[in-house]
Amino acid sequence: MTDRPTIVLSCGEMSGDLHAGRLVAHLRERLPRHRVVAFGGERCAQAGAELVFHYRDYAILGFTGVLASLPRLWRLERALRSRLRAADLFIGVDYPGLNLRLAAYARRLGVPVLYYISPQVWAWGAGRIPKMARVIDKLAVILPFEEAFFRARGVSAEFVGHPLVVDEKPPEPMPWEAREGVGLLPGSRAQEVTRILPVLLGAAARLAARGSADRFVIGRSPAVPRATYERIIARSGVAAIIDDDAAAVIRRSRLALVASGTATLQTALMETPLVVVYRVSPLNYWLARGLVTVDDIGLVNVVLGKRVAPELVQGAATPSALAAAGAALLEDEAQAEAMRARFRGLRALLGGGRGSARVAEMAAELVGA
């Protein structure tokens, strides 16, 4: 054991681990005496955190996935609660199902709580906002409208900029004339890939048949085995290529078919025309329908405040509908350019903060260092 002051950090999935890894690196610089004990992944560990649980052992999608995994999740929560009893600060990174409960427990212990990357309660689950106001000392948000939204509801929030812009500093979009083909981005988790990739490949077959495109490249998630993609491709009969660099796939494509999530923002930042698609199990969709309070699910559309990119969700997400939406962007240069023009202001909109460096400063303020 050690008597060094301790920060307990919980991020729970791959995207959170990426952002938390940068935060841990800044924490090591700003608070060198503090140890960081983490529920995360390789990025946290590489940055210097003591990894006590790995997110890959708890990968879950949808309400039904949570129900099936409740005993395992409860054991994880109990172990993290035990760590919190000796902590000087708790940092939750996204992953609200677990992290808001841990935040409430930390508050009961008198441990300060910093939350980075807010739950999207402006889209669904607004009933959690009063709890957030009670248990979170400081909320670091990454979407420009969130600071005012949360402050108006009693949550101490600060916009720190989106990590895609502030921390990653993405390259400039590739010149249009140098691009080719269609990028297929079916999500970052195995459950998403197995449900969405067949639809994307079905659309690709139709685009090829009508002569709209002849090159299709899949951006692989590092959390999903390559063999998973290969099996789905083999069943589809489409000559698609797998590329481990999803960001490069987006940057060099003339069109991207993208599963709803952060990848829609990443695609728009590369000024790549896109169609947003999402499918979950029928039960998960039925359960979610009564909770969602926004018209658009694609983050790019939410941030822009208008449906700029077409969205095809659940029953509407068919190969033929997706191919029709994609063909319109591939075959109509004016329509594609109009969408790209709307994307050009995103960097300025999502920037304006200091990202994880500022979050580390907020951590130092909460521990009095």
pLDDT score at 320: 98
Same domain, 324 and 204: yes
Q: Residue 278: give the domain boundaries.
A: 176-349
Same domain, 208 and 345: yes
Residue 167 located in a structural domain = no
Residue 1 located in a structural domain = no
Residue 171 located in a structural domain = no
Same domain, 321 and 360: no
Same domain, 107 and 199: no
Residue 65 located in a structural domain = yes
In one-letter notation, the amino acid at residue 343 is F
Same domain, 331 and 182: yes
Residue 170 located in a structural domain = no
Model's pTM, two decimal places?
0.88
Residue 19 located in a structural domain = yes
Sheet of 241-243: strand order equals 241-243, 216-219, 182-185, 255-259, 274-278, 311-313
CATH number of domain containing 122: 3.40.50.2000
Same domain, 107 and 208: no
Considering its fold, how many domains does the chain have in total?
Answer: 2
Same domain, 117 and 246: no
Same domain, 357 and 340: no
Taken in order 39, 41, 44, 46, the sign of the CA dihedral is positive
Same domain, 46 and 144: yes
Same domain, 97 and 197: no
Same domain, 224 and 129: no
Residue 285 located in a structural domain = yes
Same domain, 256 and 118: no
Residue 241 located in a structural domain = yes
Going residue by residue through the chain (369 aa), what tens digit of pLDDT does each one get? 457 899 999 998 888 898 999 999 999 999 999 999 999 999 999 999 999 999 887 765 444 455 556 677 888 999 999 999 999 999 999 999 899 999 999 999 999 999 999 988 887 778 899 999 999 999 999 999 999 999 999 999 999 999 999 998 888 999 999 999 999 999 988 889 999 999 999 999 999 999 999 999 999 998 899 999 999 999 999 999 999 999 999 999 999 999 998 999 999 999 999 999 988 655 554 445 555 555 677 899 999 999 999 999 988 999 999 999 999 999 999 999 999 999 999 999 999 889 999 999 999 999 997
Q: What is the CA radius of gyration of the chain?
A: 21
